[in-house]
Amino acid sequence: MLNGTVSARMGRFMVDAACQAGMDPARLIRLPDVGDTVLADEFARVSTPTALLLWEQIVLGRPAVHAGMHAVQLAPMGTFGVWDYLLTSGETLAESLRTGCGYVTVIGDPSTEKLHVTDDGRLFTVTHSTGPAEPDVVAAVEQFVLPLINRRATEGLRRPVVPVRVTFRHRPPNTLGPLTDLLGTRNIEFGAQVNSITYLAEDAHAPMPQTQPGLQDVLRSHADMTIASAKPVLDWHGTFRITLRATFHDPDLSLASVARRLALSPRTLQRRLGELGTTWRDEVEAVRVELAMDLIRDSDIPMRTIAARARFSDARALRRAVHRWHGTTPGDLRRRHEHPARPGREDGSAEPPTDPPTPDPRV
């Protein structure tokens, strides 16, 4: 039941981080499962597609290589409730991390966020994997999770804990300084098979100074209750619409691929859409319009990039569509929305209509 969702605590954190990165508050109104009432409910669950849309806003507002690291700095101890304390209250760091990684469901999406622990008596390693998304979003999530675990390790032991090795699947950023400063090591590998953080046994098996007998049992019971009482917020159509938008960048986007993500057969998905008086083509067009307009109004990215993300053949096709929808140009819409001047264009104008065409993926 909890697959495809994250906790309300994670939702609150993502909303705050996205707003600090410059997300237009008006956009939050269009996300139905991150309203104040929802986020105030400890047992509510926010859809993973909504969380990914918030990550996109964080990446848009921050340099992509720094988005995840900046998010870690916004997450002091206690931000994620019982999960934070599971990570820091065992007899040793190894026991704490093993328990916290086993309870990733209490905070994240159990179908996409995977944490695994290995301990050979000499080295203690936590590996992490996440689900599909835009490459810059995946990189941001990867550079959030492992540094967050390292921050909790340091907070739990009440002293700096320096990993002996960290690996990431994504490509290296242009600058490594912020990441090495955050992790305390230069032994970082990119383009690896897995995301991982490794500690020496002497750190992993060091006693946690705030350990109290029986506390982990109490915390696990609370985590179990939280999971058992959790309730996703969105109805079926809301989940479908956000899932469609979150997968809009996939080259193989199709009714069948979205049905697979929703654990439905293509025929069942068609039938449910028909029951709502809509069709796959109508839904794709609605998301195309919504995505294009959001990116035009709320970002500084070039028109050719917006066209590709919204599945137009090229920027000229996007401009024609905007004129058909609103009787104006993308540049005029941006100026009306009072964006600050964009890099390279002091007047904030859109790019000239000479962008190279982008192939139109089949939908």
User: 113-144: per-residue pLDDT in tens?
Assistant: 999 999 999 999 999 999 888 888 999 999 99
DSSP state, residue 346: T
User: Where is the domain boundary, 185, 202, 229?
Assistant: 229
> Is the residue at 185 inside a domain?
yes
* Residue 362 pLDDT level (bands cut at 50, 70, 90): very low
Q: Which domain holds residue 103?
A: 5-229
Asked, for residue 354, whether it belongs to a domain, the answer is no
Residue 342 belongs to a domain: no
Angstrom distance (rounded) from CA 286 to CA 248:
12
140 and 249 together in one domain: no
Distance CA 8, CA 275 (A): 30
Q: What share of the chain in percent tops pLDDT 70?
A: 92
Retrieve residue 252's tokens.
């193989």
Question: Of 229, 253, 276, which residue constitutes the final position of a domain?
Answer: 229
252 shares a domain with 204? no
**Domain at 285, CATH number:** 1.10.10.60
pLDDT value at 262 more than 50: yes
Q: Domain boundary residue among 229, 257, 274? A: 229
Q: Is the model's pLDDT at 66 over the cut of 50?
A: yes
- Burial code (b: 16+ CB inside 10 Å, e: under 16) for 42-80 equals eebbbbbbbbbbbbbbbbbbbebbbbbbbbbeebeeebb
Q: Are 59 and 146 in the same domain?
A: yes
Tally of domains within the chain:
2
**Cα 339 from chain centroid (whole Å):** 25
Distances (CA, A) of 307 to 229, 288, 289: 42, 10, 11
How do residues 3-29 score in pLDDT, each as one tens digit? 889 999 999 999 999 999 988 887 787
Residues 200-244 have pLDDT tens digits of: 999 999 999 988 889 999 999 999 999 999 988 877 788 788 888
Q: Looking at the structure, do residues 15 and 54 belong to the same domain, yes or no?
A: yes
The pLDDT score that the predictor gives to residue 348 is: 37
Confidence band, pLDDT 50/70/90 cuts, at residue 33: confident
Query: Is residue 360 classed as helix, strand or coil in its secondary structure?
Result: coil
Which tens digits make up the pLDDT trace of 161-184?
A: 999 999 999 999 888 888 999 999
Q: Are residues 28 and 158 in the same domain?
A: yes
With respect to residue 360, please indicate whether it lies within any of the assigned structural domains: no
In which band, very low, low, confident or very high, does the pLDDT at 273 lie, cut at 50, 70 and 90?
A: very high
Please indicate, yes or no, whether residues 223 and 314 belong to a single structural domain of this protein. no
Q: Residue written as tokens 């605590």?
A: 9
Strand (E) or helix (H) holding 354: none
With residues binned 3-state (H G I as helix, E B as strand, rest as coil), the percentages for the chain, rounded to 5, are 50, 10, 40
Q: What is the pLDDT of residue 350?
A: 38
Per-residue pLDDT at 247: 80
Angstrom distance (rounded) from CA 27 to CA 37: 17
pLDDT category of residue 346 using cuts at 50, 70 and 90: very low
Q: What is the mean pLDDT of the chain?
A: 87
Rounded CA gap, 195 and 203, in Å?
Answer: 20
**pLDDT value of position 331:** 87
Q: Are residues 36 and 124 in the same domain?
A: yes
Answer whether residue 350 is part of any domain.
no
Show the tokens assigned to 1.
Answer: 């039941």
Question: Which residue(s) pair with 348 in the sheet?
Answer: none
Q: Does the pLDDT of residue 359 top 60, yes or no?
A: no
Is residue 82 domain-shared with residue 214, that is, in the same domain? yes
**The sheet that has 231-232: what strands, in order across it?**
5-7, 44-47, 231-232
Cα–Cα distance, 357 to 360 (Å, whole number): 9
In sequence order, what are the residues at sequence separation of 6 or more whose Cβ sits closer than 8 angstroms to the Cβ of residue 133? 52, 55, 141, 246
Do 242 and 222 belong to one domain? no
